[in-house]
């Protein structure tokens, strides 16, 4: 069976805009539980200004609480300062975000597109020189909440620019969940033809209940790495209308039913989701969660 890598972003993208503030220690425990459930990769923190994203304060504390050899841990860095903080904290993998439009870059990191691209190039080159793994998001790859539909050619151009600067992987991000299966097939088909499926990942939000369908189209195009968020948590504080990420449990359930391997224990993952409900004080979970829990209860009763 083919292997698909799932990178859980709940500790970062999932919690960065949540109403509940989760302490660095609690975030570290969540990460440890995800790894224990078999997640091979986790985006653990964002090294950003706590004034800009208060829920991500304490990134250095999170990193210090982890065995950084335990999994493929990565951290989001918005600029060179964030990169230096992540490197000092011992992170070995960083992810930068380049939005595909002028306005989204200005709202997200207070830079225009050209300046943001230049900062990303400089930081990618620095990471490569320092021996760190570096990934780059092309955010709002389908649609921008401020400028509307983003041309596929622009996503390809920006991805090529980031690859040339030293990115090992490009994550095509549907930041506000505006994609649909027809568009996903076209964009991922174009991107895999241009760069090779093995160098790409997909980051999908479920605003319009199409994230799983879009993930399938990416799979059909050969993509074998996906971001997802346990419990379906997520949303960008700078992107109006961005709802939760594709739920890890939904993605893993689909992959297993379709015959792919992930190395993830779905029962243990459901326990993690239950723990997140206790932590946040409200129900969370993907669209398949009621069915998965019912099936688990039936199996345990048999």
Select from 127, 118, 210 the least CA-distant residue to 169.
127
Residues in contact with 81: Cβ distance below 8 Å, sequence separation at least 6, in sequence order: none
| C-beta of residue 201 within 8 angstroms of C-beta of residue 225 | yes
Is residue 236 part of the annotated active site? The answer reads yes
What CA–CA distance (Å, rounded) separates 263 from 284? 23
Three-state DSSP state, 270: helix
What CA–CA distance (Å, rounded) separates 11 from 275? 13
Q: What are phi and psi of 43, to 5 degrees?
A: -85, 110
Q: What are phi and psi of 279, to 5 degrees?
A: -65, -40
Neighbours of 88 (CB within 10 A): 11
Q: Which of 120, 144, 221, 236 is catalytic?
A: 236
What CA–CA distance (Å, rounded) separates 113 from 103? 8
| Helices within the chain (DSSP H only) | 24-36, 59-64, 80-88, 102-109, 113-130, 152-165, 181-195, 211-220, 248-257, 266-280, 289-301
The C-alpha angle with vertex 63 and arms to 60 and 66, in degrees rounded to 5, equals 150
Three-state DSSP state, 125: helix
Cα diameter, the chain: 60
What CA–CA distance (Å, rounded) separates 28 from 34? 10
Catalytic residues: 236
């Amino acid at each position: 069976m083919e292997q698909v890598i799932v990178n859980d972003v709940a500790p970062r993208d999932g919690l960065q805009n949540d109403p509940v503030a989760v302490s660095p220690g609690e975030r570290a425990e969540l990460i440890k539980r995800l790894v224990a459930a078999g997640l091979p990769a986790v985006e653990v923190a964002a090294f950003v200004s706590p004034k800009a994203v208060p829920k991500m304060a304490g990134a250095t504390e999170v990193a210090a609480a982890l065995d950084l050899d335990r999994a493929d841990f990565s951290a989001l860095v918005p600029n060179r300062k964030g990169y230096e903080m992540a490197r000092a904290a011992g992170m070995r993998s960083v992810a930068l975000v380049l939005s595909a439009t002028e306005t989204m870059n200005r709202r997200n990191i207070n830079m225009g597109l050209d300046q943001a691209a230049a900062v990303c190039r400089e930081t990618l080159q620095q990471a490569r020189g320092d021996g760190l793994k570096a990934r780059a998001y092309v955010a709002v790859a389908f649609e921008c909440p401020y400028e509307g539909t983003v041309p596929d050619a622009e996503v390809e151009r920006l991805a090529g620019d980031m690859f040339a600067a030293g990115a090992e992987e490009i994550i095509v991000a549907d930041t506000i969940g505006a994609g649909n299966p027809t568009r996903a097939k076209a964009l991922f088909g174009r991107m895999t033809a241009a760069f090779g499926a093995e160098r790409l990942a997909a980051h999908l939000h479920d605003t319009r209940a199409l994230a799983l369908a879009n993930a399938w189209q990416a799979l059909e195009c050969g993509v074998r790495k996906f971001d997802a968020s346990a419990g379906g948590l997520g949303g960008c504080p700078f992107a109006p209308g961005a709802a939760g990420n594709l739920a890890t449990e939904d993605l893993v359930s689909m992959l297993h039913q379709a015959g792919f391997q992930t190395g993830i224990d779905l029962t243990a993952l459901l326990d993690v989701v239950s723990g997140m409900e206790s932590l946040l004080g409200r129900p969370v979970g993907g669209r398949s969660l009621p069915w998965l829990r019912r099936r688990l209860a039936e199996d345990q009763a048999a």
